[in-house]
Amino acid sequence: MFKIAVAGTGYVGLVAGVCFAEVGHQVTCVDIDEKKVEIMKSGISPIYETGLEELMKKNYNAGRIEYSTDYQSAYKDADAIFIGVGTPEQPDGSANLSYIATVARQIAESVEKDCLVVVKSTVPVGTNDKVEQFIQDFLVNDVKVEVASNPEFLAQGSAVHDTLHAERIIIGTESKWAEELLMKIYEPFHLPIVSVNRRSAEMIKYASNDFLALKISYMNDIANLCELVGADIQDVAKGMSFDERIGSKFLNAGIGFGGSCFPKDTKALDYIATQHGYDLKTVKAAIDVNKEQKTMLYKKACRRLITFSGLKVAVLGLTFKPGTDDLREAASLENVPLLLERGADIYAYDPVGANNFAKVHPEGKHGLGSITYVSNVEDALKDANVCFIFTEWGEIKAITPDTYKKLMRTPLVYDGRNIYPVDEMQTAGVEYHSIGRKSTTRDVAKESRILELHAVGNE
Ligand code: NAD
């Protein structure tokens, strides 16, 4: 068993630390955020992740994990220090490496014995070479420090499960010593390990994330075309999914990808390519399609309605996906300001994300519009004129088509997650617009009339 320190207790660092403790290592999780550390010390998880709090308590009680702001004590005699601090996007699309640099400096000034520094954060190819050099340049004691890359592939909402049952662990090292140490640390997980060099490991992370982002944007692109030609994207995806070369995952069309990873990692790889004089056309296309997709439903609604002013607009779902309280790059963040600008009175519901959202858009008046947070879907839908669905939480999927008809003043629903079969909404008498499928609307009839008129006009 090893003595492990983890720098950063966000989705990646905290989950990694807890899972290392769970398999028997002695772990200290370090964060600069004193409030966060206090919360964790009291047994509460600062982030919402299924199963995380239980494992935190279990391993804390077993004496295998502690939380601290005192990085010096945590790093000085650690066998390995895992870095899981953020690498957010900068205005030019490049990754901000300042948090990594700060931790590297803190490590250099603290370590008193040989240790392996393992970077879990997503960083541009070649960064870990620089991190190693940087640490060596600032080392205070005469010890050996090497840097390994160990990118993280967990998905928020299922982070603990994804870590304990990862499909593969990627390790990128430049020496046998580093490779063997990292292999031993991961041995108790009994998971497949792919060992490559440091730069390949860094690239595997970007290439994997960007491939998934591309898959989503591709399906969204096809969905938009489906609407125009009268095909149904869900049937199309189903037909595609039987092909093993394509696979069945990430074929759901929707309101675009969000979260802390795909948006920034697509931009970062595009930036890296540009820096090297290469035009990464596919990834650029994924970024462009996603940008358009985020406000697709809002634009549809603008074509349908004369105004939002004075309308009660129900917003169901604020987080970028279900199972997390994370709002980073969520579709709601793009659409809510547009709706407020146009005078909508928004009633927003999210089972866990409302508090975080209220920090950005506090309850009350905003220019012409207003926002109110409600604790159940009924309060959001009651007498609403329009409803937007941005996140497919279980609580939202459980709303029956009849409920929209019964509660709303005018049952007009824009669904960014294709939750309902179109026919069921039709039967319930709901005017329903989704992504890549026909609408149940008067507009359908209107559109076909327009097409007929065109056809007549062309004769
Ligand atoms: P996060 O923003 O949730 O957490 C980062 C934490 O690091 C914060 O708690 C912050 O206070 C702390 N921190 C900053 N400087 C520190 C320092 N000097 N010492 C100790 N702690 C410090 O970040 P995250 O979402 O966990 O992402 C971390 C990295 O992992 C990013 O590079 C991200 O791209 C990558 N990643 C994230 C996910 C994900 O789903 N969130 C998945 C895979 C990879």
* Tens-digit pLDDT profile for residues 376-387: 999 999 999 999
B/e letters for 71-89, b = 16+ CB within 10 Å, e = fewer, are beebbbebbbbbbbbbbeb
Task: Give the separation between CA 240 and CA 215, rounded to whole angstroms.
Answer: 12
> Residue 459: is its pLDDT beyond 50?
no
| Candidate from 27, 48, 85, 160 with most ligand 1 atoms within 8 A of CB, to mutate | 85
Residue 373: strand pairing partners: 348
- 16 alpha carbon to ligand 1 midpoint, in Å? 11
Residue 153's pLDDT is what? 96
pLDDT tens digit sequence for 385-433: 999 999 999 999 999 999 999 999 999 999 999 999 999 999 999 999 9
Task: Give the separation between CA 449 and CA 455, rounded to whole angstroms.
Answer: 10
| Candidate from 31, 75, 327, 329 with most ligand 1 atoms within 8 A of CB, to mutate | 31
Report residue 453's pLDDT band, with 50, 70 and 90 as the boundaries: very low
Report residue 442's pLDDT band, with 50, 70 and 90 as the boundaries: low
- 349 alpha carbon to ligand 1 midpoint, in Å? 27
- Which residues have any ligand 1 atom within 6 Å of their CB? 7-13, 30-33, 36, 84-87, 99, 102-103, 106, 121-122, 152, 154, 156, 260-261
pLDDT tens digit sequence for 175-206: 999 999 999 999 999 999 999 999 999 999 99
Q: For 86-98, what is the mean pLDDT? A: 92
pLDDT tens digit sequence for 101-115: 999 999 999 999 999
Residue 260's pLDDT is what? 86
Residue 28: strand pairing partners: 5, 66
Task: Give the separation between CA 64 and CA 45, rounded to whole angstroms.
Answer: 16
CB 388, CB 365: distance < 8 Å: no
Whether 261 is a known active-site residue: answer yes
pLDDT tens digit sequence for 328-345: 999 999 999 999 999 999
Q: The tokens of 444 are what? A: 């359908």
The domains located in the chain, with CATH, are: 3-196 (3.40.50.720), 205-293 (1.10.1040.10), 296-433 (3.40.50.720)
- Rounded to two decimals, the pTM is 0.89
> Residue 449: is its pLDDT beyond 50?
no
- Of 111, 102, 104, nearest to 140 (Cα)? 111
Burial of 101 (0-12, 13-18, 19+ CB in 10 A): middle
Task: Write down the catalytic residue from 19, 115, 226, 261.
Answer: 261
Residue nearest atom 13 of ligand 1, based on CA coordinates: 8
Task: Mention every residue, 6+ apart, whose C-beta is less than 8 A from residue 94.
Answer: 124, 268, 271
B/e letters for 184-215, b = 16+ CB within 10 Å, e = fewer, are ebbeebeeebebbebbebbbbbbeebbebbbb
| Candidate from 6, 9, 12, 97 with most ligand 1 atoms within 8 A of CB, to mutate | 12
- Of 302, 224, 300, nearest to 256 (Cα)? 224
Residue whose tokens read 């997980």? 189
> Residue 446: is its pLDDT beyond 50?
no
Averaged confidence pLDDT in the chain: 94
Percent of the chain with pLDDT over 90: 93
Q: Residue 317 — left, alpha, or beta (φ > 0 → left; ψ -120 to 50 → alpha)?
A: left
Residue nearest atom 15 of ligand 1, based on CA coordinates: 99
- 260 alpha carbon to ligand 1 midpoint, in Å? 10
Q: For 41-47, what is the mean pLDDT? A: 93
Residue 349: strand pairing partners: 316
Q: Residue 401 — left, alpha, or beta (φ > 0 → left; ψ -120 to 50 → alpha)?
A: alpha
Residue nearest atom 20 of ligand 1, based on CA coordinates: 31
Report residue 93's pLDDT band, with 50, 70 and 90 as the boundaries: confident
Report residue 452's pLDDT band, with 50, 70 and 90 as the boundaries: very low
